[in-house]
């Protein structure tokens, strides 16, 4: 089917090359029974691609069901997917069919597949490989013919390395991968989408649609959109309801957009200085945290130096430490030419004979790209060119590291 016809049919707005590629892959794989893994951040519209695949397939007249694996409790997900027998567990007052039985001949869309428990993953792998499953509490093997489409906003390859996802299931699902681009990677589509959502809202409630001036369009385009298309739609509807003026300028738009000042930094969740990697939206935010701490340390050192210059009596002598055999030192007195009475460490004080008249601030490079490249090179040198170890040390996936090496033109070290 023609690309534009597919967009019109499923309400897809935009012409970003990455978006067009994803639609083309979905339409090409539709007429097969291959498993598909749809990757993309939350809110990019992954379910639409599962509907494209099902609607253009030979199964289009058979059932389609979307299941959010993250919304089903671990204790009941096996029953939901594969069914159960009467009395198989507390509360099982009667037999029940699972989704793989009720959707036989159709398509099942497993959203947030990365949240699926390992035990359920083993059952799903058997369905994909043999078409067989067993109800909970039964010993009878049943057959099903279901096309499986999965989606995730996680890096499943990283999950396999951490033991959170079965590697064999990952490769079985990832027969045909589709990556849906984030909204910030579709900048030319942002204003088009906003206009569509604002117009739809106005038509629904018989009101005049809101309009953005050029300044507001620029702000809208440069916003990061962590919630992607879902967030953009919410903002468009929020402005449509709350704004008295239908012509929106930059200042008015900013009152509706969340403050981005803190959105680029990860949240501290486990006490001072302890940050959980699971809280990062992507691997670059780890670097933001590192650079923020580095700049703070440098500023503290500058402040200490300025205090020393303006108050020379604070430190007339510079201590030079030479540790003892126990590898520790202790200072009990900072007065000139004094050695601590607890003299097991060798502590020598050298008098400052040359006064400091001025100081010069040296501004370190705060370029995110430069620092990121520098850290990647250091990690590769530290691990003697072993990219997998370097990726683990950096807290990113090996696939991401390969992409960064190509992006920064870093040769093998």
Say yes or no: 118 and 206 in one domain.
Answer: no
CA distance 179 to 181: 6
Instruction: Give residue 63's pLDDT.
Output: 97
Residues 43 and 122 grouped into a single domain: yes
Highest mean pLDDT out of 75-79, 105-109, 202-206, 399-403: 105-109
Q: What is the pLDDT of residues 234-286, one digit of tens each?
A: 999 999 999 989 999 999 999 999 876 444 444 444 444 444 444 444 455 55
Q: Quick one: pLDDT at residue 375?
A: 85
36 part of a folded domain: yes
Closest CA to 372 of 275, 297, 266, 287: 287
Distances (CA, A) of 210 to 253, 257, 295, 341: 11, 16, 42, 78
**Domain membership flag for residue 289:** no
What CATH number should be reported for the domain holding residue 32?
3.40.50.300
Shared domain check, 134 and 11: yes
Domain boundary among 198, 227, 254: 254
Q: Are 26 and 125 contained in the same domain?
A: yes
Beta bridge partners of 74: none
Containing structural domain, residue 211: 184-254
Bridge partners of 108, per DSSP, are 65, 148
Query: Per mean pLDDT, which range of 8-17, 103-112, 208-217, 328-337 is the poorest?
Result: 328-337
Residue 407 lies in a domain: yes
The predicted structure's pLDDT at residue 286: 54
What is the phi/psi pair of residue 348, to 5°?
Answer: -115, 135
DSSP 184: G
Q: Say if residue 65 is in the same domain as residue 157.
A: yes
Mark whether 45 and 163 lie in a shared domain: yes
pLDDT of amino acid 55: 96
pLDDT of 291: 60
Let me know if residue 325 belongs to a domain: no
Which tokens belong to 355? 């006064």
Find the largest Cα–Cα distance for the chain.
92
125 CA to centre of own chain = 26
Burial of 387 (0-12, 13-18, 19+ CB in 10 A): middle
In a shared domain, residues 163 and 190: no
The mean pLDDT value for 283-298 works out to 60
Residue at which a domain ends, from 128, 158, 181: 181
Q: Which residues contact 146 (CB under 8 A, 6 or more apart)?
A: 100, 103, 104, 105, 106, 107, 108, 127
Residue 111 lies in a domain: yes
Residue 223 resides in a domain:
yes
Half-sphere exposure of 321 (CA within 13 A, CB side): 10
Whether 116 is covered by a domain: the verdict is: yes
Q: Which of the listed residues 165, 181, 197 is the one where a domain comes to its end?
A: 181
Q: Are residues 106 and 141 located together in one domain of the fold?
A: yes
Same domain, 31 and 161: yes
Helix (H) or strand (E) holding 24: helix 17-29
> Are 119 and 207 in the same domain?
no
Q: What is the mean pLDDT of residues 32-43?
A: 96
Percentage of the chain exceeding pLDDT 90 = 59
User: In terms of domains, do 194 and 176 share one?
Assistant: no
Model confidence pLDDT, tens digit, residues 355-392 = 444 545 545 555 677 778 888 888 888 888 888 888 88
135 in a structural domain: yes
DSSP-assigned beta bridge partners for residue 100: none
Whether residue 374 sits in one domain with residue 240: no
Do 190 and 220 touch, CB atoms closer than 8 A? Answer: yes
CATH of the domain at 223: 1.10.8.60
CATH number for the domain spanning 392: value is 1.10.10.60
Cβ-contact 239, 245 below 8 angstroms: no
When divided into structural domains, the chain yields a total of 3
- Distances in Å between the Cα of 144 and the Cα atoms of 126, 340, 344, 389 are 11, 82, 78, 42
Structure tokens given for 207? 């009101």
Q: Which residue has the higher pLDDT, 376 or 48?
A: 48
């Amino acid at each position: 089917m023609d690309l534009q016809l597919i967009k019109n049919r499923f309400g897809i707005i935009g012409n970003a090359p990455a978006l067009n590629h994803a639609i083309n892959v979905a339409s090409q794989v539709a007429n097969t029974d291959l498993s598909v893994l749809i990757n993309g951040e939350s809110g990019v519209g992954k379910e639409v691609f599962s509907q494209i695949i099902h609607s253009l397939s030979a199964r289009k007249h058979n059932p389609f069901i979307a299941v959010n694996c993250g919304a089903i409790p671990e204790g009941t997900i096996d029953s939901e997917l594969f069914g159960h027998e009467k009395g198989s567990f507390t509360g099982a007052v009667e037999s029940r069919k699972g989704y793989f039985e009720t959707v036989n001949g159709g398509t099942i869309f497993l959203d947030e597949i990365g949240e699926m428990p390992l035990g359920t993953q083993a059952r799903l792998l058997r369905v994909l490989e043999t078409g067989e499953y067993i109800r909970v509490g039964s010993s009878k093997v049943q057959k099903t013919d279901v096309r499986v489409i999965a989606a995730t906003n996680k890096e499943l390859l990283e999950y396999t390395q951490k033991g959170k996802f079965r590697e064999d299931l990952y490769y079985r699902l990832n027969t045909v991968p589709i990556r849906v681009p984030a909204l910030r990677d579709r900048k030319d589509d942002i204003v088009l989408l906003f206009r569509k959502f604002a117009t739809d809202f106005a038509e629904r409630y018989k009101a005049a649609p809101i309009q953005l001036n050029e300044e507001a369009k620029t702000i809208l385009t440069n916003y990061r959109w962590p919630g992607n298309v879902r967030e953009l739609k919410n903002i468009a509807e929020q402005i449509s309801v709350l704004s008295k003026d239908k012509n929106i300028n930059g200042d008015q738009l900013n009152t509706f957009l969340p403050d981005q000042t803190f959105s680029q930094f990860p949240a501290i969740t486990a006490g001072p200085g302890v940050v959980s990697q699971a809280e990062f939206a992507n691997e670059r935010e780890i670097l933001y945290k590192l650079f923020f701490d580095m700049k703070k340390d440098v500023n503290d050192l500058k402040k200490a130096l300025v205090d020393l210059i303006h108050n020379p009596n604070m430190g007339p002598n510079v201590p030079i430490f030479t540790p003892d055999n126990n590898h520790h030192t202790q200072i009990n007195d900072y007065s000139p030419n004094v050695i601590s009475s607890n003299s097991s460490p060798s502590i020598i004080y050298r008098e400052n004979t040359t006064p400091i008249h001025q100081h010069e601030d040296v501004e370190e490079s705060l370029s995110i790209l430069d620092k990121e490249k520098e850290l990647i090179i250091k990690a590769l040198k530290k691990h003697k060119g072993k990219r997998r170890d370097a990726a683990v040390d950096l807290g990113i996936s090996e696939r991401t590291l390969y992409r960064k090496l190509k992006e920064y033109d870093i040769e093998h070290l």
